[in-house]
Structure 1
Amino acid sequence: MSKDYSNQEFEVKRICDVCVVDAFLAEYILREVDEATCSYCGEVRITLPLTDIADRVETAFDEHYHRTSDQPSDYEYMLLADRESSYEWSREGLCTAEAIAGASGMSESVANDIQEILADRHWDLESAQMGEETAFAADAYYEEKSVSAGSYTDEWILFEASLKTEARFFSRAAAAHLADVFGGIDKLTTIDGRPLVVTVGPGCQIDHLYRGRVFQSDDTLTAALKRPDTELGPPPAKFAGAGRMNAPGISVFYGADKAEVVVAEVRPPVGSKVAVAKFEITRQLHLLDLTALPKIYESGSIFDPGFGRRLERAAFLRSLGKQMTRPVMPGDEALDYLATQATADFLATENKPLLDGIIFPSVQAREGRNIVLFHKSARVEPLDTPEGTSISTSVGHSTEEGWETGYTVYEEVQEAQGSNHKDVAEAQVRGAQTLYPDELFLTDPLRVDPSSVVVHHVQWVNYHCEPHAVDRHRYTRAAESDSSPFSFDEDF
């Protein structure tokens, strides 16, 4: 038995951009300048030899498809052997020509010709004599490979490990990895068209945030009621502790889209009080939405050599949101937050495009969303408080029935003296917020609404748990020297 490798019919066939259908392959053909008659539509167009397109198909199938087994698995053999089973085995996938047509959109005649070209390449005498199937044979079947995160997961694990055990600062490898993961992420969308980078601020769906603070004494609470811009806003750098998205000393704005989410996130003890205020976003900011990552969708052509890498990236991003927001046990924050802190710094200062913050799901409130605004976008506009204003508060009053809680803030202002009455307030706020040179001329992105402040008295806490019963068994140990509760025959 012999095989003709010099099939002259296919060597002379040419195909145009219209007949390949796939946009990437069409563009690939149009890079040529020579026109010739297309062997499939008969039109004189820019064409390529069909064998060149077959090369692309072969490469794409090696990366994105696999040949299915022509034999049932052990489990399927068991089902076939079961006389009471109605199971009928059929091979997974599509036959080679159908798989090529389905992947490329090319006509049946083109797909059949490409199948024959590739079958010729992979045919060998020894396999034919043994009756073994070879790649791209007419009766072979193919199906798409499942997409995995591939090397992205491995690189992320190395990135986390290097921060924990080698260096707290960026290495070139770490920066390159983050650039590969997040570069151009504003161009990606979910399968239903949601962008991964959302714009918030005036005229946008999200135009305000809520932020709160726990208080265990009325003295500190009343100070916050007087100046919610400084006391409920981001802390000064010297008081900024480490968080999921910030290193110690880096002041950022942690907020939420709902007031009740804020109360859950600050995890107040019973008997404490939580003051929550609304902060208006005064200019447009761009945030990475981690809640959209599970539905990320990457479109493209399997004939594009870079498409496989983009699919791996999308697969990794689908899981990254959970990795970045997984609950961290108390005491483990110092190490477990390193990767997310470094990622936030990179997105704020190095990524293309630069981002202002991150939206991520709350781990304390099931339906809630948290928003962190990076340091450069975490400044709060000072309250418009005239110079010399005296501020006092009341937390309630006595009645015949007893004490009645009620929070009131009183502002006693002096008559206008013609000075800029925002100077004092602005100096106070600026003293609590470190500014870098490139931030001095930017508009403050946040403005507190002093009339929105609400004090929540924490009376009890409710936990939502998933119970798992524990089975307990008792058995009698045999009296023999063998302490095992089980007996075995000596002969197997």
Structure 2
Amino acid sequence: MADDATRWLCSLCTTDPGLKDRIEDEHTEATCHFCGRHGLAMPLEDAADLCHGVFTKFFGLTPADPDVFERLDPSWERHGEAPRDVLVRAAGVDVDVADELVGCLSDDYGYRAVRDGDEDPYGPEARYEAIAADDRTFQDEWLALQLELRERSRFFNSEAEDILGRIFGGLESLQTFQKQPVVVTIPPDDPDAVFWRARLFMTQSEAEDALVDPAGSIGPPPPQKARAGRMNPAGVAVFYGSQDIDVCLAELRPPVGSWIVACQFRPLRPLRLLDLPALEAVYEEGSYFDLDFGTRRERAAFLSTFCTQVARPVLPGEEDLGYLPTQVIAEYLADKLHIDGMFYPSPQAGGDRHNVVLFHRAARVRQQLPAEGEEQTGQIEVLEEGIEAVVRVTRMPPAQVAAEKAEALELLDFPGEAWLSQWPAVAQPEDPRTETIEVVAGSVYVNYVFAVTVGAASTKVSYFDVSDWP
């Protein structure tokens, strides 16, 4: 039963969904002090305590006096909003409700502040500004994750999984300031949905062989040849590429005199990709009075800097440990969130140019086998004005194909065949993945590396005598 001497604030006197829920969660019915309606309500003093928590966590008092530069401005006024204006906006209440809430806050907290020689934080001269979210908790967890993986336990790590769950949980629902999702879907029928991939060859003959079978030669390698990369451990093949061929060339870090064969791939099904650079603009909306809004806001602040950490260059020789955290992230996104890959900044190309990686499950390429009786040969010619590359196709007449097939079958019919049949054939493991990408016809390019350009910051060394004797 409500106390008649208590001033009550009902859930209908606020438009903020978080504060409305907090009032209704009290399950107390009373007559509202402001609108006179009878319904679910909360004592005004309790509502003021909730508001104090909002001020403490999300807002800060601005300086009461101008700094040395601002003193030169005769029209200087204190920055920020009055407590009443903050509550009108943040709590969704009318001015009269906000005034009484501020009065309660000043009675509860102003006296102690003034007694200690400080300003009344809810007095008529107080002004507030929103403060940036503090992401130290998530930064500490990210550092702890890296330490755990590098120095303690790399496999079956439940602690790492818990940290990744707190960082990436609900990733699909996150949006940027412009209401753009951070997990995007790439449709297979989009003509612009193509990815370049390139491979480095040391000799011209190796590059010529790659022209014949770009799907097998330029696509992801077989497991036994898959080296560790930023998003994959050794033995797990993924697709690294870019929407810009120049980025592919830069990522290979090719030596002068080498050859690069590149081609385009397109998806065969919709691909769900994490747009890592979009995390820099991720934005969390919600009520200041939601119990988890502060944590969600802090996570958004951490994710806004996460892109830079993931794309940080790793020096040669440090790949085993340097790539370990991002490899674990890729595995978590693929297995737990069913994301097919991600866009991320190119450490080698720099600027706003991006790489794309398709995780193992989405990295199987549709093979392009030659027709029966068809033989292909790649040829590269070095000319004065550049290079020329062709694939020559030779087709045998159908009768010759049939004759050679019959001859091959006759060769198999020898006395030892029955003896050999006693031994079971060695079964090759089947790839359980579905074909996800294919080579775009006519998109193969050959590049000869005759020079390499380096982008670097430079400064002249200065010398100073710092001796402490004359």
TM over 0.5: yes
Amino acid at match of 2:395: E
2:220 maps to amino acid? P
**Counterpart for residue 391 of structure 2:** 408
Deviation at 1:468, TM superposition (A): 2.1
Give 1:385 deviation, angstroms: 2.4
Q: Which residue of 1 aligns with 2:434?
A: 443
Does the CA-based 8 Å contact 1:212-1:277 persist in structure 2?
A: yes
Distance 1:161 1:26 in 2: 43
- Decide whether aligned partners of structure 1 residues 130 and 158 sit closer, same or farther in structure 2, where only a CA change above 3 A counts: closer
What's the counterpart of residue 9 of structure 2? Answer: 15
1:186 aligns with 172
Q: 2:251 aligns with which of 260, 265, 277?
A: 265
Kindly report which structure 2 residues correspond to 1:63-462, keeping only aligned pairs within 5 A, or say none.
Answer: 63-70=57-64, 76=67, 80=71, 85-86=72-73, 90-124=77-111, 132-204=118-190, 207-349=193-335, 351=336, 353-365=337-349, 366-396=351-381, 405-412=388-395, 415=398, 440=432, 443-462=434-453
**C-alpha contact 2:344 2:355 (8 A) present in aligned 1:** yes
Aligned partners of 1:234 and 1:390: how far apart in 2?
24
Confirm or deny: 8 A CA contact 1:228 1:450 kept in the other structure.
Answer: no
Instruction: Give TM-score scaled by structure 1 length.
Output: 0.81
Q: Distance in 1 between matches of 2:376 and 2:163?
A: 51
Residues of 2 paired with 1:79 and 1:449: CA distance? 62
Asked if the contact 1:190/1:297 (under 8 Å) is kept, the reply is yes
CA–CA distance in 2 between the matches of 1:79 and 1:277?
60
Letter of the 2:7 partner, please give it. Answer: K
SS at match of 2:248: helix
CA contact (8 A) 1:215 1:274 kept: yes
- Once the two structures are TM-superposed, the CA of residue 114 in structure 1 deviates from its matched residue by 0.7
Inter-CA distance 205–133: structure 2 relative to 1 (3 Å threshold): farther
For 1:222, what is the secondary structure of its paired residue?
helix
Deviation string, structure 1 residues 447-483 (Cα, Å, up to 9, x no partner): 112421010122222223333232234x5x9xxxxx6
> Deviations 1:249-300 (Å, cap 9, x if unpaired)?
1111101112222112112112211100111111011111111111111111
Deviates more, 1:113-122 or 1:199-208: 199-208
Q: CA separation in 1, counterparts of 2:387 and 2:93? A: 78
- Report if the CA contact (8 A) 1:116-1:138 is conserved: no
Report the Cα distance in structure 1 between the residues aligned to 2:326 and 2:108, rounded to whole angstroms: 49
| CA offsets 1:389-438 (integer angstroms, 9 cap, x no match) | 3222222399xx89973322325356387xxxxxxxxxxxxx9x9766xx
Tell me the secondary structure at the aligned position of residue 456 of structure 1: strand
Kept in 2, the 8 Å contact 1:236–1:434? The answer is no
Corresponding residue for residue 421 of structure 2 = none
Change (3 A) 1:215 1:57: same
Rounded Cα–Cα distance in structure 2 between residues aligned with 1:23 and 1:140: 27
Over 3 Å counting, the alpha-carbon distance change for 1:138 and 1:455 in structure 2 is same
Q: 1:208 to 1:26 in 2, by over 3 A?
A: same
Query: How many pairs were matched up?
Result: 441
Distance 1:53 1:129, change over 3 A: closer
CA spacing shift, 1:434–1:307, aligned 2, 3 Å: farther
Partners of 2:118 and 2:275 lie apart in 1 by: 51
Q: In 2, are the aligned partners of 1:237 and 1:434 still within 8 Å (CA)?
A: no
Tell me if the contact between 2:240 and 2:357 (Cα under 8 Å) persists in the aligned partners.
yes
Secondary structure at the counterpart of residue 443 of structure 2: strand
Residue 223 (structure 1) shift: 1.7
Partner of 2:461: 470
CA contact (8 A) 2:274 2:339 kept: yes
Distance (whole Å) between structure 2 residues aligned to residue 91 and residue 388 of structure 1: 85
Q: TM-score, normalised by structure 2?
A: 0.85
Unaligned runs of 5+ in 2: 403-425
Where 2:47 maps in the other structure, the secondary structure is helix
